[in-house]
């Protein structure tokens, strides 16, 4: 039978990150959320703990762990602060992981040590104003032109909703761009999409004004403008024309990480609701003695448990080298819905106090909706699952 118990190393990691989340992250979360400020001190401490290097080998400045270790850390952080958790998730799975998976040895040597240490952040420039779920609709273009200093990519286009793209420590954004076209057998043309590394100090690269978001207020998200951005030909990440396939692989892995974050949010709502139900007095007793409240929290617990099992399963398949695309889609969908449903129920249990922004459940209520949208909407996950069923 499957054994879902954690190894000693994984349990030690969970205990360490949980203590950090409760003692360091949680006390400043409400203030950063209210002020819409990026938690640089928290991120620095996460870097010093090695969290940004969890799934990378020591030779690249990492901790020598695995992707499941990253997921466990994200669950514990997501329990108390989704903004901090998504900063880690995007920094690792979207920022550093493409370089680790597809980069040359030179690219890895240049970028991974600083990204794995948390001293620098990277973003993944995929989404565009007219290309979100339909990423094949990418309009950003990169043309290879000859110059005095060798061939260079000249990039023009716009990106939307790019996490970690405008902080003071953001050093790199990997950009998807159309680098040519090819002809299909039926005579129609197909876009050749590639991925290119763009250092953020490159002339023509602009992180526009940060979004005023409903939630994740302490995370960094910007639209990007690339106007005649010149980078060396060697900044091509992976094989030319394989950018679409490569970022699909990155998203498959990233959905496990997002599912872990969402599971943490769902569990955080359970924890807060249990605490409040024991303390809150109404009609001469604590509200936890009311069966209506008990049943609501019991359903919340079941959702969090199911979400956890789903991402554990997807991560186990990934690490075993087995197909996991469908299972990561299931995990992402189940966990995202669990987070949103639990946040709604927790807010109801808290009543008026759940409608106050400084309340943790209020932040989860605002934060959790994006978990059904970002890194693949619920509808995209359903499409992937249905496709696997042959529909």
Encode pLDDT of 338-384 as tens digits: 999 999 999 999 999 999 998 999 999 999 999 999 989 999 999 99
Residue range 220-247: mean pLDDT, rounded: 95
In the chain, residues under CATH classification 1.10.540.10 are 8-120
- Three-state secondary structure call for residue 320: coil
Higher pLDDT, 243 or 136: 243
Residue that the structure tokens 């990204």 belong to: 115
| From 183, 233, 375, 379, active-site residue | 375
User: pLDDT band for position 174 (50/70/90)?
Assistant: very high
pLDDT at 249 over 70: yes
H or E element: which one contains 179? strand 170-183
Query: Is residue 375 among the annotated active site residues?
Result: yes
CATH of the domain spanning 245-388? 1.20.140.10
pLDDT in tens, 292-351: 999 999 999 999 999 999 999 999 999 999 999 999 999 999 999 999 999 999 999 999
Residue that the structure tokens 């466990």 belong to: 72
Q: What is the mean pLDDT of the chain?
A: 95
CATH of the domain spanning 123-242? 2.40.110.10
pLDDT in tens, 101-128: 999 999 999 999 999 999 999 999 999 9
CA dihedral 196, 199, 202, 207 (to 10 degrees): 100
Phi, psi (degrees; rounded to nearest 5) at 180: 160, -175
Q: What six digits make up the tokens of 391?
A: 């529909």
Q: What percent of the chain has pLDDT over 70?
A: 99
- Three-state secondary structure call for residue 351: helix
Beta-sheet pairing, 141-145 with 221-232: unpaired
- Res 160: pLDDT: 96
pLDDT in tens, 36-76: 999 999 999 999 999 999 999 999 999 999 999 999 999 99
Query: Radius of gyration of the chain from Cα atoms?
Result: 21
- Res 150: pLDDT: 83
38: Cα separation from own chain's centroid: 16
In the chain, which residue ranges form alpha helices assigned H by DSSP?
A: 8-20, 26-35, 40-49, 67-80, 82-89, 97-102, 105-116, 243-279, 291-319, 325-350, 360-367, 378-388
Alpha carbons within 13 angstroms on the beta-carbon side of residue 344 total 8
- Res 1: pLDDT: 62
CATH of 8-120, picked from 1.10.1240.10, 3.90.1570.10, 3.20.20.70, 1.10.540.10, is 1.10.540.10
In the chain, residues under CATH classification 1.20.140.10 are 245-388
User: pLDDT band for position 32 (50/70/90)?
Assistant: very high
């Amino acid at each position: 039978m499957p054994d879902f118990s954690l190894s000693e190393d994984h349990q030690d990691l969970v205990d360490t990150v949980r203590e950090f989340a409760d003692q360091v992250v949680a006390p400043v979360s409400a203030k950063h959320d209210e002020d819409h400020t990026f938690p640089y001190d928290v991120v620095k401490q996460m870097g010093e703990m090695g969290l940004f290097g969890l799934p990378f080998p020591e030779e690249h400045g990492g901790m020598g762990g695995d992707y499941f270790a990253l997921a466990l850390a994200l669950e514990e952080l997501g329990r108390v602060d989704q903004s901090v958790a998504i900063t880690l998730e995007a920094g690792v799975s979207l920022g550093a992981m493409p370089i680790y998976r597809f980069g040359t040895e030179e690219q890895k040597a240049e970028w991974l040590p600083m990204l794995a240490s948390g001293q620098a952040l990277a973003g993944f420039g995929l989404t565009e104003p007219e290309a979100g779920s339909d990423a094949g609709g990418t309009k950003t273009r990169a043309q290879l032109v000859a110059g005095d200093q060798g061939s260079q990519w000249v990039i023009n286009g716009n990106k939307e909703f790019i996490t970690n793209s405008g902080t003071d420590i953001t050093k790199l954004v990997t950009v998807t761009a159309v680098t040519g076209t090819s002809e299909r057998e039926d005579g129609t043309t197909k876009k050749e999409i590639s991925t290119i590394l763009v250092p953020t100090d490159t002339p023509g690269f602009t992180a526009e004004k940060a979004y005023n978001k409903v939630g994740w207020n302490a995370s960094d998200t910007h639209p990007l403008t690339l106007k005649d951005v010149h980078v060396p030909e060697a900044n091509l990440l992976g094989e030319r024309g394989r950018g679409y396939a490569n970022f699909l692989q990155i998203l498959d892995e990233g959905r496990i990480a997002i599912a872990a974050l969402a599971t943490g949010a769902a569990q955080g709502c359970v924890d807060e609701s249990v605490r409040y139900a024991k303390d809150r007095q109404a009609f001469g007793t604590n509200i936890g003695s009311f069966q209506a409240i008990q049943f609501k929290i019991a359903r919340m617990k079941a959702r969090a448990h199911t979400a956890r099992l789903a991402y554990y399963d997807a991560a186990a398949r990934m690490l075993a080298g087995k197909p996991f695309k469908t299972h990561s889609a299931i995990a992402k969908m189940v966990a995202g819905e669990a987070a949103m449903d639990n946040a709604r129920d927790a807010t109801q249990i808290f009543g008026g106090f759940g409608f106050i922004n400084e309340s943790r459940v209020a932040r989860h209520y605002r934060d959790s909706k994006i978990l059904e949208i970002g890194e693949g909407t619920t509808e995209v996950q359903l499409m992937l699952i249905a496709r696997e069923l042959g529909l």
